[in-house]
Amino acid sequence: MQLPTTVLFALLPFFLQVNAQATGTGKTTRYWDCCKPSCAWSGKATLAAGSGPVGTCDVKDSPLTDSNAVNGCDGGSSYMCSDQSPYAVTDDLAYGYAAVNIAGGSEASWCCACYELTFTTTAIAGKKMIVQATNTGGDLGANQFDLAIPGGGVGIFNGCTTEFGAPSSGWGAQYGGISAADSCSSFPAALKPGCDFRFGWFMGADNPEVTFKQVECPAALTKSTGCKRADDSSMPAADASGSAVASSASSTVAATSATSVASSVASSVVASSVASSVVASSVASSVAAPSVASSVVAVPSSSSSSAVKTASSSASSVVAPVATSYGHHTTAAKPSTIAPHSTATATASAPADDDDTCDAE
């Protein structure tokens, strides 16, 4: 069957959208360094009208309005807000935030994007968590989600001592954080619920592996950060039900279907005209050939003392062009929420190599 050129062009946006949705398998770690998230700096991604970078807070955990305020971990006044802590929605679904590194992408493609994670290992296998990417880190491997969990370890950077009076190396081990639920009782009131989450809904899981897919952000997540991507509404709605196997199977079927349609279109175009063939060929290859990235991920093996772990992360992710991104620290305007505390003076905007906070904990 030969499709008219007009039909082929009409299908082009569909193929590009399929290609833009990141999916794959990955690894999770944890951190909470109180520093300004990288996606809080202006210009990191194309945002929806009326939206701004990820919101930040001052040392009193009160919202800031200047997205160029210097990171508290660099002597500035901007810190991570406490309301960017994880929480349970149901027994099998939770919401939260994370520092992210998606294979083949950059901050331009993942800042403020949301990902539905389906845990495939540890006691929480089968549970799902939807996280919004608020940060990144130079020490993150491909397809790694460093979950923002109070008491998860400060890692490379520590703004919690200034903001909340935490020990010099943060609460618990520098990498991995605290190791017992009762340690949460001594946490600041604003961070205690997030700390308890780790030993409640999260069942103390240590760096579980996941399958992931980019989804439209739940309003509850974007309300806290004040950040929404311009392409967010084009993403599929999150699937709050189903097992890890079912979810993975659905992703595979969808990818196969898209590839088949692309191939069909390419064939039709070749039969139609040379010009159409070029367009369809381009479309087909972008949809049918997802990139597979393999990398070494620094991930501590236990929540107490290991500073580095090795994990091989391989994933099919189709995202924007590769670009170097930096750590987790950033500043941004926060609509109306409360969060961590920090002290500092502000100067200038985000340095080109701000290694904000993202440590494989």
Catalytically annotated residue among 83, 139, 146, 231: 146
Name which of 324, 341, 330, 112 is nearest 215 in CA terms.
Answer: 112
Give the three-state DSSP class for 164. Answer: helix
User: Angle at the Cα of 289 (from 297 to 267), degrees rounded to 5?
Assistant: 175
Distances (CA, A) of 22 to 101, 102, 348: 11, 8, 33
Distance of alpha carbon 345 from alpha carbon 166, whole angstroms: 20
Question: Scanning the structure block, which residue is given the tokens 């924007």?
Answer: 320
How many whole angstroms separate alpha carbon 297 and alpha carbon 309?
7
d(CA 80, CA 86): 13
Give the H or E element holding residue 192. helix 192-199
Q: Is residue 74 among the annotated active site residues?
A: no
Give Cα 210 to chain centroid, integer Å.
13
- Secondary element (H or E) of residue 109: helix 107-110
Alpha helices (H) along the chain = 5-20, 107-110, 160-164, 192-199, 219-225, 244-272, 274-288
C-beta neighbour count of 21 within 10 angstroms: 21
Examine the residue annotation and report whether 353 is marked as an active-site residue of this protein: no
First CA to last CA distance, the chain: 54
Identity of residue 254: A
CA distance 348 to 169: 27
d(Cα 84, Cα 259) in Å, to the nearest integer? 38
Distance CA 338, CA 187 (A): 16
Instruction: Please give the Cα distance from 179 to 279 (Å, whole number).
Output: 55
Query: In the Cβ-directed half-sphere of 188, how many Cα atoms lie within 13 Å?
Result: 25
CA distance 162 to 159: 6
Q: Which positions are annotated as active-site residues? A: 33, 146
